[in-house]
């Protein structure tokens, strides 16, 4: 049997994204004031950013380290560590 508490604790960031997205969308649809609609769009945009960050997270990942910056975009001296 699937434990609902473990599902919520394992995917709490997705739950936050959905709540922010639905809240922002509700504000955009329900309000007539333009400033309030912009606040709703900002909340919606924040939820999209959080979703991208959540999906892009990798376990035990390290960013690439560059010894020197390249002079041209085609010259890269980065190594994966």
Tokens standing for residue 66: 């560059």
pTM: 0.66
How many residues comprise the chain?
81
**pLDDT-based confidence at residue 2 (cuts at 50, 70, 90):** confident
Assess contact for 31 and 42: CB atoms under 8 A. Answer: no
Domain ranges of the chain: 4-79
Model pLDDT, residue 72: 63
Looking at per-residue pLDDT, the higher value among 35 and 3 belongs to 35
| Cβ within 8 Å of residue 41, ≥6 positions away | 24, 28
Model pLDDT, residue 4: 81
Model pLDDT, residue 61: 72
**pLDDT-based confidence at residue 66 (cuts at 50, 70, 90):** low
């Amino acid at each position: 049997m699937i434990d609902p508490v473990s599902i919520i604790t394992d995917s709490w960031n997705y739950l936050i994204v959905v709540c922010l997205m639905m809240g922002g969308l509700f504000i955009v649809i329900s309000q007539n004031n333009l400033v309030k609609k912009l606040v709703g769009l900002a909340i919606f945009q924040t939820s999209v950013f959080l979703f991208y960050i959540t999906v892009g997270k990798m376990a035990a990942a390290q960013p690439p380290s560059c010894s020197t910056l390249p002079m041209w975009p085609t010259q890269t001296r980065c190594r994966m560590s």
